[in-house]
Amino acid sequence: MFPSQFDYHRPSSVAEAIQFLQNDPDAKILAGGHSLIPAMKLRLAVPSALVDLSQVDGLRGIAVNGDIRIGAMTTYAQLRDSDALKAAMPLLSEVANNVGDPQVQSRGTLGGSLAHADPAADFTAVVLALGGSVKAVGTGGEREISADDLFVDLFTTSLNPDEVITEVTIPNPAARTGMAYQKRGHPASGYAVVGVAVSVTVGDDGNVSDARIAVTGCTPKATRATAAEQALVGKPLNEASIDAAAKAAPEGLDINGDHYASAEYRAHLVEVDTRRALEAAAKAL
Amino acid sequence: MVASAPEKLVGKPIKRREDPRLITGAGVFIDDVRLPGLAHMAVLRSPYAHARIVSINADAARAMPGVLGVFTGEDIKHINPLPCAWQAPGVENKVNTPRLLALDEVHQVGDPVAVVVTESPYQAKDALAAIEVDYEELPAVVGARKATTPGAPQLHENAPSNIVFRWSCGQDADQVDAALAASEVQVRERIGNQQLIPTAIEPRGSIGRYDPGTGEYTLWATSQAPHVHRLLTAAFVLGVPEQKIRVIAPDVGGGFGSKIYLYFDMPLVLWLSEQLGGRPVKFFEDRSENFLHTSHGRGHDSDVAIGATKDGKITALRVDTFANLGGYLSTIAPGTPSTLYGRMVAGCYKIPNIHVGITGVYTNTAMVDAYRGAGRTEASYMIERVVDLVANATGVDPAEVRRLNFVQPEDFPFDNGLGGLPYDSGDYEKALNRALEMVGYEDLRREQAERRENGDRKMLGIGLSSFVEACGLGPSQYMGREGWAAGLWESANVRIHLTGKVVVTTGSLPHGQGHETTFSQLVADELGVPFEDIQVKHSDTQGTPFGYGSYGSRSLAVGGTAIYKSVAKVREKAMQLAAHLLEAAPEDIVYENGGAYVKGSPESGKTIQELAGAAHVGYDLPAGMEPTLEATTFYDPPSFTFPFGTHICVVEVDRDTGDTEVKRYVAVDDVGNVVNPLIVDGQLHGGITQGLGQALYEGVVYAEKGEMLTGSLNDYAIVRASMAPMFELENTVTPTSVNPLGARGVGEAGAIASTPAVANAVIDAVSHLGIRNMDMPLTPERVWRSMAANT
């Protein structure tokens, strides 16, 4: 497990980090490193340089003020342990506690997870279902990218090579919103074989006014299960609508399989886990 | 004066004396061995499962920074291939063992093709990338049964149809077939036992150093058997005189069998060090290399035919097994499916007609050799599935089928009809009954019926596994008859220094088992000296008598007995010396509480420390007595020992997803007398967990062309602590008469018993849907598909 030679930079500001990225197109950003470092040791990733964000000011922290703003370098452990977050949106703390193991949670970062866009990551689907967005800063300035536009393909985002995610925003949920994340981890990696994140809002008329459902683990990128969402909107949130949504969930998804779990089985799990996630969300209303 | 009785330590749950060292990072594993001038070897491995090597161009690599040399199979073709240490009489064994580096052809992904030796390990990996190999890919075959079919790709010229050997035991197949045909109930099934990666926490490594001054070689290696590795390296591979090689196993981080065998790197680092004028050369595999190339376990595919009466009595059993042995034969590979599997397929049961046939097969995978439970695990899985199949076919409760067919206490010594050694003793029904009582069997069956009635999503499954295993390897004469190219006795030297301190040297080799604690407890009691005064030495061929190492649950039963006998010899000599010094007749001397005295007069006796001093200085010894208190024993056990017991696993299976959750795990084990119950429990926890891993999670997957799809711990699932159940353990104690300790062995029992217990539980949970067998690992998808196919 010996990586190739690489340079190492540790900027103290976002501007400095962007400068390093601009000067060296083969440089990679180092956040928690739990995906990148093993890939380098296996020589699957051979960056010319690492730009370590650990000492950049202002990239950590959780601010709850209606919307929730989370610094990109905030670790899963910080999300897991934040009393403010547990009060405002306990789901985020629960999901953080479900990523990897305590060692991973202590190193892994929210921004790193979103930027890496692993097809089996947890927070990609969760942020997508919660209608979140990221703030990206690059040579071209600062812009907000919604999660709907962030994930492009397998390990691919719409970030430019010189852009750094600095912050993640989760909007303040509407009244009567229930949310849940249902995951089954791979017994070896712990990554999602299938994960389904849901956020469902029930309007004054008692019918679902908004539903966002996102799957991970079985598609090239975290993806909205739009057929399931459509099956819910305008209906009361009950056993029948949940069942219809669950059955519709795999529709239109590019579900893939491997030797551990076939595409057919994963499609079945998308149905089962959508049902279970919606049932949990309904209870959390 | 001889003091009052010290506290007896045997039977006490003493914490392991080696743990403070190991868990605070003070251990010295192979990667901690630092030698001046250390050079690093890295291995270029075949990306193909089967290919001809057309050419290798290493010119660019040789010119890279820090490269001391690049070597290919061509450069070392004068060195012998690794040996296979098995040849059963009358069996045609088509031996193909690996060369240190492949010559002309590769037979598995990961086959070593070339090595680079460099100043730093980083440079070694850089240089590997600069070696160009031109391969001509050849067709590959995965799956032992498939490899024997007409038209399958051939691995080795001397092994038509890829068959290494055929071997059988029990009655003639025809006779058993006739009994099967005459049976009231007949069941046929295909039963698999998947290929596994041992996954010791420490992968393998070796460091070789040649001393140009003396012509001596030193090998540090992750080894379960240093003396054996020295012997094989010297006499069979390098052709160096045995006395010129010293093998040291530093702390070894687990092995589960995978570190018994001789691997390419061990002789190679010695040879390379000699080429480099004596610079030490180190190889340490990473986890991916370990998965690809260090020996795997199991890999069986069997056809089973069962005959029974309507009330559940087994009348006949025929098992025909294809055993994958990989691309080449590992050191003792054929010994596992023959001696350790074939002869144990009858399990705890009296089966009047039985035949087991084994076909050992080459396929383009990693080599397969013994892995924790070796053979007996496969046997207990086979017979415990068979028993449940009989229960399923007859409607008789699985517990009752076991009772009906058990070997009874009065049947011992019992010959199971498969040509092995007789089972020594046991009370199988007692262990079963206790386990049923602990788990609350009747209530569970009631609950299971209720849940089925209600159509509950969480289906309940109860899996039984009554097992017997053969361990304490092994009686040399028998092993020789079986074709194992060595006796399997064990050595021990016990030496009391002038100061009264005791050094015990053993040929067994701890790699996690706690020998230093267990053996010290034994010596402390037998000699009456303080635990703290005893040092247990091991793992170095220098200055120690030959020993065979640790595997096959043999360390206490065989190695411990050798120590016990050496202590007895020392004690006997001390008593003779005491008689002389006390001017008494030897027959009047009593030895107890750490000293010898004339019967009735402990106050005027001599302590063992005093006697050791007197023996050492030699001022006043009886005529003809040699100085010092020291004895060596080479103990050859008269038979195997046969631990037994019953394990019961309770699971819930999710009807919607096929997920299994282990709810309870109850085990009643009889390992004979117990020296340290804490260590015995630990062995059971670990073994049960490992066996549970086989049932639910583990399994090597190769693609059609022989690429490993489970090449990392991201894909290959082992059980982590968070996935293990709570263990409810009890013992029955039936001391074996095979050795004076009455100890049967416990290193493998958990792994042998748990795989069938867990698998039987999962299958039991869905049996009402018409499912009677599934292949392991019982992944959620497999269970879900079985349910889907049966509803």
Parse chain A into domains and list their residue ranges. 7-55, 62-170, 177-283
Distance CA B784, CA A260 (A): 13
Judgement on whether residues B759 and B720 belong to the same structural domain of the protein? yes
Residue B705, min C-alpha distance to chain A (Å): 14
Residue B5 has pLDDT above 80, yes or no: no
Average pLDDT over residues A70-88: 98
Distance CA B282, CA B266 (A): 10
Residue B263 burial (CB < 10 Å; 0-12/13-18/19+)? Answer: buried
CATH of the domain at B434: 3.30.365.10
Fold: same for A7-55 and A62-170: no
B67-112 pLDDT, tens digit each: 999 999 999 999 999 999 999 999 999 999 999 999 999 999 999 9
pLDDT, position B350: 98
Instruction: Enumerate the residues of chain A whose CB falls inside 8 A of the CB of residue B722.
Output: 101
Could you tell me how many CB contacts below 8 A there are between chain A and chain B? 55
Take residue B219 and report the two structure tokens written for it.
Answer: 């090998």
Sorting pLDDT into bands at 50, 70 and 90, what band is B650? very high
Give the pairing of strands B39-45 and B281-284.
parallel
Contact between chains at B785 and A265 (C-beta distance less than 8 A): yes
Judgement on whether residues B497 and B448 belong to the same structural domain of the protein? no
Contact between chains at B122 and A5 (C-beta distance less than 8 A): yes
Domains in chain B, number: 3
Instruction: Enumerate the residues of chain A whose CB falls inside 8 A of the CB of residue B779.
Output: 260-261
For residue B198, tell me if it sits in a domain: no
Average pLDDT over residues B338-350: 98
B614-638 pLDDT, tens digit each: 999 999 999 999 999 999 999 999 9
pLDDT, position B486: 86
Q: What mean pLDDT value characterizes chain B?
A: 97
B634-648 pLDDT, tens digit each: 999 999 999 999 999
Whether the ipTM is more than 0.90: the answer is: yes
Q: Which of B129, B696, B709 sits opposite A259 (nearest CB)?
A: B709
Indicate if the alpha-carbon torsion angle B219, B223, B226, B232 is positive or negative: negative
Given B635, B661, B693, the domain boundary residue is: B635
Residue A268, min C-alpha distance to chain B (Å): 8
Helix and strand element counts for chain A (H, E): 12, 14
Contact between chains at A188 and B713 (C-beta distance less than 8 A): yes
Between positions 212 and 271 of A, the ones with CB within 8 A of B are 258-262, 265, 268-269
Judgement on whether residues B458 and B504 belong to the same structural domain of the protein? no
Instruction: Enumerate the residues of chain B whose CB falls inside 8 A of the CB of residue A188.
Output: 697, 713-718
Instruction: Enumerate the residues of chain A whose CB falls inside 8 A of the CB of residue B705.
Output: none
Give the pairing of strands A27-30 and A49-52.
parallel
User: Does residue A124 contact residue A116 with C-beta atoms inside 8 Å?
Assistant: no
Provide CATH code, domain A62-170: 3.30.465.10
Across B215-346, the runs of DSSP E, i.e. the strands, are: 216-221, 245-248, 281-284, 297-308, 314-326
Judgement on whether residues B620 and B719 belong to the same structural domain of the protein? no
Distance CA A39, CA B713 (A): 14
pLDDT, position B610: 98
Contact between chains at B717 and A188 (C-beta distance less than 8 A): yes
pLDDT, position A127: 98
Sorting pLDDT into bands at 50, 70 and 90, what band is A4? very high
For residue B166, tell me if it sits in a domain: no
The residue among B394, B189, B179 whose CA lies nearest residue B307 is: B179
pLDDT more than 70, % of chain B: 100
Between positions 31 and 90 of A, the ones with CB within 8 A of B are 42-43
How many Cα atoms sit within 13 Å of B362 on the Cβ side?
30
Judgement on whether residues B521 and B589 belong to the same structural domain of the protein? yes
Given B582, B605, B635, the domain boundary residue is: B635
For residue B268, tell me if it sits in a domain: yes
H or E stretch at B199: none
Residue with tokens 């389904």: A196
Take residue B92 and report the two structure tokens written for it.
Answer: 């045609």
pLDDT, position B2: 75
A13-36 pLDDT, tens digit each: 999 999 999 999 999 999 999 999
Residue B224 has pLDDT above 80, yes or no: yes
Contact between chains at A272 and B656 (C-beta distance less than 8 A): yes
For residue B618, tell me if it sits in a domain: yes
pLDDT, position A237: 97
Residue with tokens 């999710």: B654
Residue B690 has pLDDT above 80, yes or no: yes
B761-785 pLDDT, tens digit each: 999 999 999 999 999 999 999 999 9
User: Does residue B768 contact residue B702 with C-beta atoms inside 8 Å?
Assistant: no
Contact between chains at A258 and B709 (C-beta distance less than 8 A): yes
Contact between chains at B657 and A269 (C-beta distance less than 8 A): yes
Residue B3 has pLDDT above 80, yes or no: no
The residue among B666, B603, B204 whose CA lies nearest residue B466 is: B666
SS3 content of chain A, % helix, strand, coil (to 5): 35, 30, 35
Q: Which of A2, A42, A269 sits opposite B122 (nearest CB)?
A: A2
Residue A76, min C-alpha distance to chain B (Å): 19
pLDDT, position B207: 98
pLDDT more than 90, % of chain A: 99
Distance CA A112, CA A128 (A): 15
Contact between chains at B656 and A258 (C-beta distance less than 8 A): no
Given B224, B252, B284, the domain boundary residue is: B284
Find the radius of gyration of the CA atoms of chain A. 19
Q: Which of B125, B659, B722 sits opposite A2 (nearest CB)?
A: B125
pLDDT, position B6: 79
CATH of the domain at B55: 3.90.1170.50
Sorting pLDDT into bands at 50, 70 and 90, what band is B4? confident
Judgement on whether residues B607 and B687 belong to the same structural domain of the protein? no
Distance CA A134, CA B63 (A): 48
Q: Which amino acid is at B136?
A: E
The residue among B542, B521, B532 whose CA lies nearest residue B499 is: B532
pLDDT, position B791: 73
Provide CATH code, domain A177-283: 3.30.390.50
Distance CA B188, CA B393 (A): 11
Sorting pLDDT into bands at 50, 70 and 90, what band is A1? confident
pLDDT more than 70, % of chain A: 100
Q: Report the b/e string of B604-632 with b at 16+ CB within 10 A.
A: ebbbbbbbbbbbbeeeebeeeeeebbbbb
Contact between chains at A265 and B121 (C-beta distance less than 8 A): no
User: Does residue B656 contact residue A272 with C-beta atoms inside 8 Å?
Assistant: yes
B39-62 pLDDT, tens digit each: 999 999 999 999 999 999 999 999
B12-29 pLDDT, tens digit each: 999 999 999 999 999 999
pLDDT more than 90, % of chain B: 98
Contact between chains at A42 and B126 (C-beta distance less than 8 A): no
Q: Spell out the CATH class of A7-55.
A: alpha beta
For residue B159, tell me if it sits in a domain: no
Inform me whether the C-beta atom of residue A26 falls under 8 Å from chain B C-beta atoms. no
Residue B259 has pLDDT above 90, yes or no: yes
Domain range for B420: 374-471+640-789
Judgement on whether residues B744 and B644 belong to the same structural domain of the protein? yes
Judgement on whether residues B47 and B131 belong to the same structural domain of the protein? yes
Residue A260, min C-alpha distance to chain B (Å): 8
